[in-house]
Structure 1
């Protein structure tokens, strides 16, 4: 899991990204800022991350970023909902590449907020986007 944290270097923060969101874990204080750029069809084409998070939060952000490019805003929303349901004890492990790497965090409720950070930040960023016509 710690090896994932260095993956965030591949997604440097970029002030020019038009959609920005932030999330903070109430349980551990970790924060993630996420910047996104969508193409004309609402597909993620660029991502930037600024993290002040624990290892779980950084690993979750890396897993998110590694698979977010090429996905629609609806797919990101749906994945975030699936992660939240799974953490609440409902449903199977979310269908997101490499998610199994942090799946053990489910056994530690104090880390649930850190797991959700990138999806919450993405939801906030995407709420700024206009729906494609």
Structure 2
């Protein structure tokens, strides 16, 4: 089995989540009920650590906070670039799966990781 190429949210984002959690802990001096607010940074940290996708020789596996979806290369029709530069994996069945944590600028790295299965358009010289 080959090692997957992983694409996900930058782990440095966890620092901001930690600072947010520390700021929320000061509220617990007002009332212990504010401890419930610490669920929010816990969910944010889980989202940062979990969401993303893996590219292997067999398939693309998209991970969300609560699940995952594996799309074999035989079912991949291409990649669609959304209006805001977000990427969507288009399947041969006509469905689309959002590729989290990446934008159109990441397409060359995804194309390299796919071994050429996802073509990357060449830019004209000088751009």
Q: Shorter-chain TM-score: what band?
A: 0.3 to 0.5
* Higher-helix-fraction structure: 1
* Higher-strand-fraction structure: 2
Q: Normalising by the residue count of structure 2, what TM-score does the alignment of the two structures yield?
A: 0.33
Structure with bigger RCO (C-alpha 8 Å, 6+ apart): 1
